[in-house]
Structure 1
Amino acid sequence: MNFRELNRKKNIYLRRLKAKAGKCLFDFKNKNRFTPSKLKTFKKVLFLRNDNKIGDMIVSTMAFRELKKQLPNSEICVLAGPASAKVIENNRSVSRIFICRNKFSDILKTGLKLRKEHFDLYIDMDMGNTFLTHLLMFLIKPRFAFGFNKDKFKAYNITCGLDFDANHITAWHAAAFKALRLQKPEARYDLFVPNSLKKEIQKFLSKLPTAKGFIAVNAFASSKHRCLSALQIRQTAQSLPQYNFILIGPNEQAERLKEASACKNVFTAPKGDIFISFAVTAVTDLLITPDTCFVHAAAALGKKQICIYKESDKPNQKIWVPISSHTEVIQAPDEFSALPAEEIIKAALKALS
């Protein structure tokens, strides 16, 4: 067992220990009893999504839309991280966004603030509780609280069992809606990219050398082991010279990758936040990515894509595979940079045909 694996196991153990402490300290008795008739009385709903994961937020937009549709008299509020909050700034189904970092001081301050809102329903989609989520629940004290596999928690008065590894992420939302006695949500994500931003990107693309089309490439993922290399980008671009490749993702990393790839039909997107990357995805012909954030963005935008998953991690792939018929899936070794470029080229030709 290497150091990285030992360190991971140590961190998991400490998180579990802290979570148990949080349950002992903050798990309060919620005496309210939920019945379907009480749905009509809900005025404020708070959806917990403060993990700051952008891909998860995109997936959750299906729940925001369906909650607003089925509870039209309720404010649909979202507790979000700073980065993920940007994804729903233009979302018509979300009434208010509360930004909170997953830190003790932020949780304490935000929890006390949200307690004054008197939320009727608190929806927690996480797989498990942490010390901070126990504290947050204790501070907010919602009228009703939903969570998965929460039979042993007194603060949650709506729950259902779920095997997370056996179900796609959209099935998690469907199970939550069923437990809340709501109609099954439509498995479709919402991502609203301003038209002004799309026009800006189209203007940028029009100034590039004439090409048959454009391929967006996000080479970066949360782990360095799941990132694509400059060599893979160069070989793919050289094999498809009729297309211009637009590198999206973190500005500085994309620029360094372009320089390293040294290919005349590879360009970087204009600098800006993640919505620049979403706008590029929206107006190009194909997206290539190893990151589930962009996988779900492409699905929301109805774009063709090639998504790259770790072959040894089939459970994760089952949960996060995109809900799109315009998808080519590539199985990669643990080090994505070892994936032969021929596999990407083959998938691209198939997707573009």
Structure 2
Amino acid sequence: MSRIMWEIKFIRKKIKLYISNLLNRIVMFSFPKRKEKFNPENIKSILIARNDKIGDMVVTTSLIKNLALAGYDVYVSSQQSSLEILKKNPYVKGTFSYNDYSYKDLFESIKKIRKFHFDLVIDTRPFYSFEMKKIIFCAFTNSTHLMGFNKSNVKSYNISIPYYNNDSHITNQLNKIYDYINIQNYDKSYDLY
């Protein structure tokens, strides 16, 4: 009897996974496609879409500082608790609270961001992360360019940085952004206030 129950549960999980993948493909099909060719000289405003925990935001503070020192207006979106550590950061031009507890909250977050037209949105989520709500947020930010890691299969990302070294620290992944934007000399230390 337990073998039959196990097989029923297994079949249910397969069906649930199939439906989830099908829905993800339908949603991804509706994403806007960014076609404009990337030129770092045309970038003025950047939104860093961190949208996660405080520890990763601490690591991202060096990226924020280096982008600002390179002349970009840097904005950050993340969960409210993560934004608290950026309150007195002089390199942050503005912040946006990200909330995806429900799809209604997610679309409210997107609505706030869409009022701005960022030249570049950088999805800093780890390359192995494929959380649909966070990808939906980035896809509909109304930006000219959308950069992410290993997102070449998502048409909204017109800049996909290949990075497959999952054994290294997140800072090594973020350093690839400097290469793409042509920032040569950058400070790797965290920048907390």
Tell me if TM exceeds 0.5: yes
Task: Kindly tell me the number of residue pairs found equivalent between the two proteins.
Answer: 175
* Whole-angstrom CA distance in 1 between matches of 2:38 and 2:146: 9
TM-score scaled by length of structure 1:
0.46
* Whole-angstrom CA distance in 2 between matches of 1:19 and 1:142: 22
Deviation, 1:20, is 4.0
CA contact (8 A) 2:57 2:82 kept: yes
Question: Once superposed, which parts of structure 1, at least 4 consecutive aligned residues long, lie more than 6 Å away?
Answer: none
Query: Identity over the aligned pairs, expressed in percent?
Result: 28
Provide the residue aligned with 2:130 in structure 1.
129
Amino acid at match of 1:181: N
* Whole-angstrom CA distance in 1 between matches of 2:114 and 2:120: 12
TM-score scaled by length of structure 2:
0.81
Provide the residue aligned with 1:86 in structure 2.
84
Provide the residue aligned with 1:22 in structure 2.
27
Residue 93 and residue 75 in structure 1: after superposition, are their counterparts in 2 closer, same or farther (change >3 A)? Answer: same
CA contact (8 A) 1:174 1:184 kept: no
- Within a 5 Å distance, the mapping from 1:237-248 to structure 2 comes to none
Amino acid at match of 1:91: N
Choose which of 36, 58, 77 in structure 2 pairs with 1:32: 36
Cα deviation per residue 1:182-213 (whole Å; 9 max; x = unaligned)? 22532100121xxxxxxxxxxxxxxxxxxxxx
CA contact (8 A) 2:49 2:138 kept: no
CA contact (8 A) 1:47 1:124 kept: yes
Amino acid at match of 2:30: L
Cα deviation per residue 1:279-336 (whole Å; 9 max; x = unaligned)? xxxxxxxxxxxxxxxxxxxxxxxxxxxxxxxxxxxxxxxxxxxxxxxxxxxxxxxxxx
Amino acid at match of 1:88: L
What's the secondary structure of 1:76's corresponding residue?
strand
Provide the residue aligned with 1:140 in structure 2.
141
* Whole-angstrom CA distance in 2 between matches of 1:159 and 1:55: 24
- Within a 5 Å distance, the mapping from 1:67-216 to structure 2 comes to 67-70=67-70, 72=71, 74-103=72-101, 104-126=103-125, 127=127, 128-183=129-184, 185-192=186-193
- Within a 5 Å distance, the mapping from 1:283-302 to structure 2 comes to none
* Whole-angstrom CA distance in 1 between matches of 2:54 and 2:64: 15
Gap runs ≥5 in structure 1? 1-5, 193-353
Deviation, 1:161, is 0.7
Deviation, 1:102, is 2.3
Residue 85 and residue 147 in structure 1: after superposition, are their counterparts in 2 closer, same or farther (change >3 A)? Answer: same
The structure that has the greater radius of gyration is: 1
What's the secondary structure of 2:137's corresponding residue?
helix
Gap runs ≥5 in structure 2? 1-8
Residue 117 and residue 179 in structure 1: after superposition, are their counterparts in 2 closer, same or farther (change >3 A)? Answer: same
